[in-house]
């Protein structure tokens, strides 16, 4: 570097280019009003992390499979890793579908052995589907919340996994199934058999119910808990030795609540407050497909069923881009934004068709993932989606992890890593605010921004099969005249002049533009007095 360049660099630093929002001499009135806002968001791990979801039985083969075979007695079945799950028949013997008792043998130890892969991918949070004692493979039929299913391991294995995630700077979230238990649950069996059982009021019995008791959606294997009973709430979350609080002491960092909407606003709020009291900064995310506006602060965040629906419809060209933009903007505006940042943005999971099946067009699929990783919230990546695993209705979407595709370096794996790295490198995509950009034509156009102009990003998406030329006005007063816009996805760059930029978007194309705020080789920038 020559003397002129060194002097220029030093001058820029002295003028405040490296300063934070609180100390920069170029912070304007609006910057000062939000001083510290984005820094505070960055300190809270719950805002905008990348979440990786795992079904323990299906993620990684156990190293001790032969020693574990006795844990899968008939009518349960232990399958080879290369066998794909298929829908079975209903068993009157055990009152479940046979595919619910098909196993592949993964456990907490094998999951921990693959933690390096999850970390290298770039995930910040490992989220496990239920691991507590249950009869089925999915464990949504709890027999004992406080015990881990022996096929998976023990509470000590949970502690070890929590410690391993912590070593890598990651967090661990468990799935809490607190609306219902399993039909073989000892408390339920005792209550069902004995009207004077101490657990009789833990459930609801009566002739008005199809099975003689209230089951979730009338499923005979899933009797609902009577949460109106204080003893039940004490057991699940209120008492110091409750399920929610004891696992947090074991080292986990939060809970994803199955069918959270069934638990209701008030009880969810009780649970969330109990979790926060036990472990300040812990996360409670509810499986809530409803409009999110009134569900905060009952939970910290929701799983965005509705947003998933909108994204998939749009990239499949069943919903036009302008309607998508209007609906998303309304939802984000109506809900508390701090909670939106903590909500999980997903495209597929254990209850849905896999993304590669729902969106078979690879170009459209990538557009959906661009939206997933740029809209506010925490992108939730279902295991195997990063290598385009396919799967239809239950249980097809719960197949064993395709490690052969990982080893073959499937092209979608590189794409997933690119999106994750892009998100982690761009502050506004993680914790920035959201607003629509004014754009002509039928395109999706929005900005993620903070109080620093260099953070801002303009996202443009054209899901149609035709090229679209759009003129875009970004309502960011710091975007200087004549600034070059760099596409972070490697596409064509653009220029922003006199408040607008005109961009040609080929069919099924996305752009993530950031303004070039760094000085030229000669040392000049028109951002010299803008924070």
For the CA atoms of the chain, what is the radius of gyration? 25
**Whole-angstrom distance, CA of residue 377 vs CA of residue 389:** 24
**Whole-angstrom distance, CA of residue 288 vs CA of residue 291:** 8
Cβ neighbours of 247 (radius 10 Å) = 28
Measuring CA to CA, which residue among 415, 347, 345, 420 is closest to residue 375?
Answer: 345
Fold that domain 3-35+437-515 belongs to in CATH: Immunoglobulin-like (2.60.40)
**Whole-angstrom distance, CA of residue 112 vs CA of residue 114:** 5
Ordered by start, the domain boundaries in the chain are: 3-35+437-515, 51-64+107-179+230-429, 186-226
As beta bridge partners, residue 438 has 473
In this structure, which CATH number among 3.40.50.10860, 3.20.20.80, 2.30.29.30, 3.40.50.1220 belongs to the domain 51-64+107-179+230-429? 3.20.20.80
Regions in the chain scoring below 50 on pLDDT: 1-22
Helix (H), strand (E) at residue 66: helix 65-68
Strands 283-286 and 301-302: parallel
**Whole-angstrom distance, CA of residue 189 vs CA of residue 20:** 60
Contact, 50 vs 423, CB < 8 A? Answer: yes
Three-state DSSP at 399 gives: coil
What sign for the dihedral angle of Cα 393, 395, 401, 404? negative
Cβ neighbours of 156 (radius 10 Å) = 11
What is the tens place of the pLDDT at every residue in 354-395?
Answer: 999 999 999 999 999 999 999 999 999 999 999 999 999 999
Three-state DSSP at 143 gives: strand
Task: Give catalytic residues, as residue numbers.
Answer: 258, 287
Contact, 182 vs 173, CB < 8 A? Answer: no
What is the tens place of the pLDDT at every residue in 94-151?
Answer: 889 999 999 999 999 999 999 999 999 999 999 999 999 999 999 999 999 999 999 9
Measuring CA to CA, which residue among 371, 295, 309 is closest to residue 339?
Answer: 295
What is the tens place of the pLDDT at every residue in 152-199?
Answer: 999 999 999 999 999 999 999 999 999 999 999 999 999 999 999 999
Contact, 391 vs 398, CB < 8 A? Answer: yes
């Amino acid at each position: 570097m020559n003397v002129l360049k060194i002097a220029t660099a030093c001058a820029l630093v002295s003028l405040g280019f490296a300063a934070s929002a609180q100390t920069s001499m170029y912070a304007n009135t609006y910057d000062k009003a939000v001083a510290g806002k984005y820094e505070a968001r960055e300190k809270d791990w719950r805002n905008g992390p990348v979440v990786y979801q795992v079904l323990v039985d299906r993620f990684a083969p156990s190293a001790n499979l032969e020693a574990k075979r006795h844990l899968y007695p008939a009518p349960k079945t232990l399958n080879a890793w290369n066998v794909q799950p298929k829908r079975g028949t209903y068993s009157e013997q055990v009152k479940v579908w046979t595919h619910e008792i098909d196993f592949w043998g993964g456990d907490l130890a094998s999951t921990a052995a693959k933690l390096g892969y999850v970390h290298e991918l770039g995930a910040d949070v490992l989220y496990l589907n239920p691991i507590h004692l249950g009869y089925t493979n999915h464990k949504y039929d709890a027999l004992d919340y406080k015990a881990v299913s022996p096929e998976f391991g023990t509470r000590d294995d949970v502690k070890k996994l929590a410690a391993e995630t912590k070593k890598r700077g990651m967090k661990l979230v468990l799935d809490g199934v607190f609306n219902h238990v399993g039909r073989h649950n000892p408390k339920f069996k005792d209550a069902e058999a004995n009207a004077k059982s101490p657990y009789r009021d833990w459930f609801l019995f009566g002739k008005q119910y199809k099975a003689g008791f209230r089951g979730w959606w009338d499923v005979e294997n899933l009797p609902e808990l009577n949460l109106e009973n204080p003893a039940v709430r004490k057991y699940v979350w209120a008492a110091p030795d409750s399920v929610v609080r004891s696992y947090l002491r074991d080292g986990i960092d939060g809970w994803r609540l199955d069918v959270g909407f069934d638990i209701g606003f008030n009880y969810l709020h009780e649970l969330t407050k109990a979790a926060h009291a036990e472990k300040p900064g812990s996360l409670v995310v509810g499986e809530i497909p409803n409009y999110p506006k009134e569900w905060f602060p009952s939970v910290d965040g929701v799983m965005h069923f509705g947003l998933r629906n909108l994204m998939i419809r749009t990239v499949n060209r069943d919903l036009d881009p302008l309607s998508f933009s209007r609906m998303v903007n309304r939802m984000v505006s109506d809900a508390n934004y701090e909670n939106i940042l903590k909500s999980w943005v997903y495209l597929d999971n254990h209850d849905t068709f896999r993304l590669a099946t729902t969106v078979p067009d690879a170009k459209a699929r990538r557009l959906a993932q661009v939206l997933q990783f740029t809209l506010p919230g925490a992108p939730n990546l279902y295991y195997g989606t990063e290598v385009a695993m396919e799967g239809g209705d239950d249980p097809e979407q719960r197949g064993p992890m395709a490690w052969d595709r990982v080893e073959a370096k499937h092209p979608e794996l590189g794409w997933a890593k690119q999106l994750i790295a892009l998100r982690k490198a761009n502050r506004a995509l993680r914790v920035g605010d959201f607003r629509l950009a004014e754009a002509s034509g039928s395109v999706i156009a929005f900005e993620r921004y903070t109080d620093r102009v260099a953070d801002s990003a303009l996202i443009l998406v054209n899901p149609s099969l035709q090229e679209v030329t759009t003129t875009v006005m970004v309502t960011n007063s710091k975007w200087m005249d004549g600034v070059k816009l760099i596409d972070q996805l490697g596409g064509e760059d653009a220029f922003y002049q006199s408040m607008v930029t005109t961009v040609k978007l080929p069919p099924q194309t996305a752009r993530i533009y950031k303004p070039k705020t760094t000085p030229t080789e000669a040392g000049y920038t028109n951002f010299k007095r803008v924070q």
